Structure 1
């Protein structure tokens, strides 16, 4: 057993910052600076609590946060260690923010390529349990707050010259929301109001990509991202993921843009640990690539505080996309794009060129929801409700569940040959399911189900999981 490393820590009881946050922050800084190195053993929670004169709960909470971020590794019977793969900053100094984003001159204003027509996804018939991902519980909103927001929207006159950046008041409120909810230090000057994630991603693609540029998308990953990049003439490059997220070492050096979902990888469900986030940003700085971070359901976490957004770690190389489609509903049609000011200006110019805009009344209504705190209250209610549904899935299918710490979906791992028949038989019994196969660009690497619990009631979640459990092969079969 390795000796325990001596950790120089202090706590300030007069500071407004909670003690557990102080301890976690000092340990994190020590690992970043190289004072604590991979493989070194930390004191026990009891021992460190005694040394600092705090309760054991304080140290336990600090360790749990660092476990969640990927900084620490627990080894049964031997203690807590600094995880392998942590990257201290060079010479103990903080890394510099990346160079400004270069926008290609004369990048094309290409129209999206036509795609095969397909029926849009409709609500499941009465009595059918829909466990497909991608839909929130749209009936959970506060009707009084919703009506009040739309009355305020009706009080404003129509604008003959919509601002391509969005209403200034809403941009300020969104910046504050991101600072409060996602610890993103951003000002309104870096925020653009969009019609949602797809709109924001298409604006970025139209601004940055020339025909033939290579654009990376996680594999498996969000199908719409592949279609958007392809529609702008890019060569789509599948970038493999594991249970934690995108594999940095597998990224090619010639990508112009990489689309990633680090807070809750879709569909596998992993969250990118802090050390890997730093390696990803180091790759982006070295290659000149732009990382597009989709923060699509980061508001919903069920274990510890959310990990910091990539944008907050390096605003010079990251574009952050967000949306209200998961927190309120897709029909609201509002999201945001956070980027360096020069890139945001280029996107605004393109937006004006193609007459793309976000509805003014929708912006006014969302402004009211944010001003009055209605959106925050809604998120708190839904976080509790979704946590109960997620718990029902874990209780029923626990050993097979992956990616259950956040968001509105989990992955259920299954042998490849089992999935098609199980989905078919579940459908015959009134349970609609989605598979990982549908989210691959090439051959299926990850096999299983993608279970969404946003749009199904708790009773329906339990019923659907019971059907799945009955149809799963017996263990050892």
Structure 2
């Protein structure tokens, strides 16, 4: 989420009786609470800020120490000081949380990554949980995941993603981020270089860095990640080829071939995040990278976007050496995904409820996307992203325009997402990411007028 050192609107009054350190802490706190500074913004070092303000480093250090104690900022070893994503927020400040956190109750959530949980058939949901509870308690853990769960996932991948994966090659995970954490700890080594999409999934970036890996951002365009921009010497490339997050593009067939050929010739892994690959509405999806090159691709999937994060269940299909390293890591650390969500998914699949939900989900989200795109384009609002997934992107011309639209959306009751927080470095594109799965269709339709007003270009 770091966006580079952020310009700070700080003015210190040297004639005031208030100590300079207190003035500085107050100014930074106000900037964070009003939205000028957002979660993940990197602050200047105490030395650099002291130089900018013409004060001693004692002043800036004291201000940072106070804000750190209050929970507004956090230091990351070897990286810098950052505004936290969840500063202490009494009720009057709740609407300043970033989209990853629980939003204010009076805002309509239109951010990416939120599933259509209300669309899950409640009778099927209750039936699955009751049936899961009827199974005997486990007396030992399954480090690969429950055999019946892995069988369901193998069938799901074949039916919905065209991946012919044997049950034995499927590993259960706790979701995409949990799988990345395991890969970073068990397969990769501290100091190695990992290429990631820019903009991209910043939780994966943080997971790689937490494991001591170096991260190289690679630009994306309308055809997805650019393999020609992947630097030499990488140990892995992390990407979302089916529906790039957050820009919504699909990696072209030629780039898929180019990427896997480079992976084979240079000896690196490709980590394929297929977070919502089941959700495509225009044409059949291109073959998974794991289908093209199972020897160098680690395929990741999750139930959190097609069903709900409640299950905490995902999957990994990986080359034998990678799978073996993951299993050894689980043995050594005693960690493994919880079987509870796995059991529920098995029961949903056993009665055909999983397939019925996916068919209904595709129809519903396709109609919502068409509704939203039509409304935006009627007002000449540009839209980015393939006809897929549960979000789209409206590009804007500058970081300031992005901030203004986010603030205007909040003022008018809409929680939107900006592209800035999806960049690891300085943003090279600006825009608003709009999710359309988290509310019911009538609510979305009622909000269209306000949404279009917030997003449409300024009239001359």
The reply to whether TM is greater than 0.5 is: yes
The 3 A distance-change label for structure 1 pair 148 and 115 is farther
Question: Once superposed, what is the RMSD of the aligned Cα atoms?
Answer: 1.9
Tell me the residue number matched to 1:9: none
Structure 2: gaps of 5 or more residues:
1-78, 87-99
Question: For residues 169-213 of structure 1, what are the alpha-carbon distances to aligned partners after superposition, in whole Å with 9 as ceiling and x for unaligned?
Answer: 111121111011101111011100111111111111112221110
| Cα shift at 1:383 | 1.1
Match of 1:454 among 437, 455, 460: 437
* Equivalence for 2:137: 158
Residue pairs, 1:380-459, within 5 angstroms? 380-398=359-377, 399-416=381-398, 417-459=400-442
Counterpart-to-counterpart distance in 2, 1:278 and 1:360:
36
> C-alpha distance in 2, partners of 1:263/1:272?
7
Following the alignment from structure 1 to structure 2, what is the Cα–Cα distance between the partners of residues 190 and 171? Answer: 9
Q: Which residue of 2 aligns with 1:37?
A: none
Are the aligned partners of 1:437 and 1:447 in contact in 2 as well (CA < 8 Å)? yes
Q: State how far apart, in whole Å, the 2-side matches of 1:460 and 1:390 are.
A: 14
Mapped partners of 1:206, 1:193: distance in 2: 17
Pick from 128, 147, 154 the counterpart of residue 175 of structure 1.
Answer: 154
SS in 1 for 2:433: strand
Match of 2:452 in 1: 469
Distance in 2 separating the partners of 1:116 and 1:321:
30
Please tell me whether residue 253 in structure 1 is matched to residue 235 in structure 2: no
Aligned to 1:122: 102
Residue 147 of structure 1 and its aligned partner are, at CA, apart by 1.4
1:363 Cα deviation from its structure 2 partner:
1.7
Asked if the contact 2:243–2:386 (Cα under 8 Å) also holds between the matched residues in 1, the reply is: no
Q: Cα offset for 1:475?
A: 6.5
User: Are residues 455 and 151 of structure 1, via their aligned partners in 2, closer, same or farther at CA, if it must alter by over 3 Å?
Assistant: same
**Contact 2:225–2:239 at 8 Å: present in 1 too?**
yes
Structure 2 CA distance for aligned equivalents of residues 427 and 209 of structure 1:
41
| Structure 1 runs (4+) greater than 3 angstroms displaced | 113-120, 462-465, 471-477
* d(CA) in 1 for partners of 2:454, 2:136: 57
Partners of 2:365 and 2:456 in 1: CA distance:
28
Alignment TM-score, normalising by the size of structure 1: 0.73
SS in 2 for 1:401: coil
**1:117, CA displacement in angstroms?**
5.7
- CA shift at 1:461, angstroms? 2.7
User: Cα deviations across residues 319-362 of structure 1 (Å, max 9, x unaligned)?
Assistant: 00000001111111000011012221210110121111222232
C-alpha deviation, 1:476, in angstroms: 7.3
Secondary structure of 2:367's partner?
Answer: helix
Question: How many Å apart are 1:118 and its aligned residue?
Answer: 4.0
Instruction: Measure, in 2, the Cα distance between the counterparts of 1:274 and 1:464.
Output: 37
Partner of 2:117: 138
Tell me, in whole angstroms, the C-alpha distance in 1 between the residues paired with 2:340 and 2:311: 11
Q: Secondary structure at the match of 1:407?
A: coil
Provide the secondary structure at the position in 2 that maps to 1:320: strand
8 Å contact from structure 2 (residues 223, 252) kept in 1: yes
CA contact (8 A) 1:189 1:341 kept: no
* 1:439 CA drift (Å): 0.4
Structure 2 CA distance, aligned partners of 1:475 and 1:362? 47
Deviations 1:19-78 (A, max 9, x none): xxxxxxxxxxxxxxxxxxxxxxxxxxxxxxxxxxxxxxxxxxxxxxxxxxxxxxxxxxxx
Q: How many residues align?
A: 364
Which residue does the alignment assign to 1:372?
Answer: 351
Structure 1 residue runs without a partner (length 5+)? 1-112
Contact 2:276 2:305 in 1 (8 A): yes
Instruction: Kindly indicate whether the alpha-carbon contact (under 8 Å) linking 1:239 and 1:247 is maintained by their aligned counterparts in 2.
Output: yes
Matched, 1:280 2:259: yes
Q: Which residue of 2 aligns with 1:349?
A: 328
- Contact 2:187–2:325 at 8 Å: present in 1 too? no
Is it true that 1:319 corresponds to 2:298 in the alignment? Answer: yes
CA distance in 1, matches of 2:143, 2:363: 36
Q: Is the partner of 1:283 in helix, strand or coil? A: helix
Residue in 2 aligned with 1:337? 316
